[in-house]
Structure 1
Amino acid sequence: MFKKEFKTIDEQIQILKKRGLTINDIESASRYLLTNNYYNIINGYSKPFLEEKEKYINGASFDEVSRLYFFDKEIKQTLFNAILDAEHHLKSLFAHRFAEIHKGDPEAYLNVSAYNDDYSQDIAWTITNFARIIRSNRRYDNNSIKYYIDNYGAVPIWVTVDYLNFGDLLTLIKISPISLQNKIAEDLISFIKRRL
């Protein structure tokens, strides 16, 4: 049987005040709790301000708890954006270097011989995944896969690579020949040096 009862925003504020949390602007705190979820903020971010389980240290304020929540959110967003940038650069580098090696075959990524045969199971999965991506997207208008099939008869790696998730991309790099991995690593080193 579920014992936790629903609490209104006013009741949540009263609980926090009773536990010793200073709330200078009740109206602002109420709006904040309504739009940011009491459980996430108070249970997730007020721990550094607790003296014991349900008692805040003297002088701890709702503003400090909400700023900690905001700071954590900003760090997560910054890291997420950096990861997206890194993924984009890695996809671009891979696609360019792979196409450079396989100039005459725009769909070489669908051939087993394009990969390091030490990873036969991963190669089979990757090729199947690429085929599924092409098959499922070729029937929809207004996407790059259909456009390339309709206009060029093939879908090159620089188009399909954007349909991969980060894990698929890492597998693709892992199963590639060492020479291709080395080219990508060299490109990444020069990119990192330019950013520093």
Structure 2
Amino acid sequence: MNIRQLHASDSLEALTALLHAAYASLAAQGWNFTAVNQSVAVTRERVAHGQAFVADLDGQLVGTVTVCPPKPADGQYLGDPVPACYTQPDTAILAQLAVHPSQRGQHLGERLMDAAEAWAAAQGYAQIALDTARPAEHLLRRYARRGYVQVGDVQWAGKTYASVLMVKLLAAKAAA
């Protein structure tokens, strides 16, 4: 299994299909995460504004995560006003973490997050932020174990759940 940056030659159709497969179990619980049914155009937009990483297993994309720079305070994030923690100049944003169901239980999500956090630290970001569904307690626990702390809430338009905003201080900056 190889964790690498997304290549221009990688299929965004395959990446979108991976996201759909990975988020199907969350959709079954009634949580309409963007990645549940996003179009290839939305996938293209999301990876174009950041650095995407993929897990490649014999030429198949089986995992992904995207890290983006901060958003403009007066801008939009997937059509909604941007939360304050996503506008801080020293904050990268983690999104679209996904592992294909056939690859779960192998710590692939952790490895993808390690790659994303290391990349953000190397780019000079002091912290990294994310959001996830408040009812997804297993995700909240997972991120908390990695050092993410809750800093607020947001209700994204059209979502069936409230989200929790979480931030982690990156190790490279924590030691400085």
TM-score (norm 2): 0.23
Q: Which has the higher strand share?
A: 2
Q: Which has the higher helix share?
A: 1
TM-score computed with the length of structure 1 as normaliser: 0.21
